[in-house]
Amino acid sequence: MRILYSHRIQSRDGQSVHVDELIAALRAAGHEVLVVGPSAYAAAEFGGESRAVAFVRRVLPRAVGELAEIAYNLPAYRRLHRAHAAFRPDLIYERYNLFYVAGARLARRTGTPLYVEVNSPLADERARFGGLRLTAVARAMERHVWQSARRVLTVTQVLRAHVVRAGTPAKRVFVTPNGVVPDRYAAPMTARTDAVTLGFVGFVRDWHGLDSVLAAIAAHRGPPRITLTVVGDGPARPALMRQAAALGIADRLIFTGTVAHADVPALVGGFDVALQPRVVAYASPLKIFDYMAAGRAIVAPDQPNIREVLRHEGTALLFDPASPASMWASVLRLVADAPLRERLGRAARAELLARDYTWSGNARRIAAWARQDIGRGADIAPAAAAPALQPNSSA
């Protein structure tokens, strides 16, 4: 199958992990994938973003910046149209981005099935947190893209409900959670009793609540010794380091800084208790699948999107997100009970494998749906009929 993968991502971060891993899984399954996206994406280093994009966001009024996002559809559509004409794809797969309608327009003009992957409700998110100005336009364009898709693939049931409420027929909205490559993770270790490392993976912001974890570590008395390792970086790092120094526990806080995604499995394997302190209501956190694959004991908030993946007392300890004390009580329970840590970690990995929370599993599901949908329309052209192209195309 030939798949034209369209995106508008400029930076290398968690969203790029999803893009790269899914493309790799589709190619490993034997599909031809042509990627069309901004040139800044190919040039960016992990953890960074395009300097040009950062400059535009800093100097332009928000409404003008949003008009520039809309204008981007003109060159993006031309590139997609040229790629489509040469590659003759069976499927257009697009990672949804706000104000981005080039893929929807191309699908309507060519009749090629369009799959749109939705990871967050961006119009709502930017209206609430990003100072969105052209709100009505953004929502109208969002609905247009979702309703133009043959299938909309959301990462959680919570997000699926949002897309359906926006007017997309429920029969065309499917859930594909994030995933992982389990073979990259070593077998779970026997739980330690002399020291306990709490761990967190990701871009650290104040709202994650790691300050409360540091305060609790400082207040903890007596063995085992508790430390916190943060795999990543973020704007909360300076304040957390100052707090640790003030509490006299600077030697018990380790920041790795930004690391290559390939290095994450070994670092997560060194955790005893893996933390997901807070999470937005619709997300499918990549870190949870990392934790599960590594067989770590997980502490996470008890809320609908998390319960789609984790079971309290079965594969994790889930705490009341309205009560910070509840999270630390769960941590202390695991600190004191090494056999429980080991049981939950092994159960989490077994659950991940049983439910196929993997990129290869997502690729298989997407391909199976595409075969069904393509069968209802035009026949699949033989692979030999397509001209040879480079695997990636960028602006």
- Segment among 42-51, 278-287, 301-310 with least mean pLDDT: 42-51
pLDDT reported for residue 388: 35
pLDDT reported for residue 373: 93
**Cβ(271)–Cβ(294) under 8 Å?**
yes
Would the pLDDT of 78 be above 90? yes
pLDDT reported for residue 187: 78
Q: What is the mean pLDDT of the chain?
A: 90
Instruction: Report DSSP state, residue 308.
Output: T
Calculate ∠ Cα 347-348-353, nearest 5°: 95
**Left if phi > 0, otherwise alpha if psi is -120 to 50, otherwise beta: which for 357?**
beta
Distance CA 115, CA 170 (A): 14
> Residue 337 corresponds to which amino acid?
D
Rounded average pLDDT over 261-280: 95
Would the pLDDT of 166 be above 90? yes
Give the confidence band of 42 by pLDDT, cuts at 50, 70, 90. low
Give the confidence band of 194 by pLDDT, cuts at 50, 70, 90. confident
Crossing angle of helices 210-219 and 237-247, rounded to 10°: 10
Selected residue with higher pLDDT from 216 and 39: 216
Distance CA 39, CA 16 (A): 14
**Cβ(267)–Cβ(256) under 8 Å?**
yes
Q: Which residues of 189-210 are buried (b: 16+ CB within 10 A; e: fewer)?
A: eebeeeebbbbbbbebeeebbb
pLDDT digit string (tens) for 212-239? Answer: 999 999 999 878 999 999 999 999 999 9
Q: Which domains does the chain have, with CATH numbers?
A: 2-179+358-394 (3.40.50.2000), 183-354 (3.40.50.2000)
pLDDT reported for residue 41: 64
pLDDT digit string (tens) for 342-351? Answer: 999 999 999 9
Share of the chain above pLDDT 90, in %: 80
Would the pLDDT of 121 be above 60? yes
pLDDT reported for residue 222: 78
Closest CA to 173 of 189, 159, 192, 187: 159
Handedness of CA 123, 131, 302, 236 (dihedral sign): positive
Q: Which residues pair with 231 in a beta bridge?
A: 201
Rounded average pLDDT over 344-372: 97
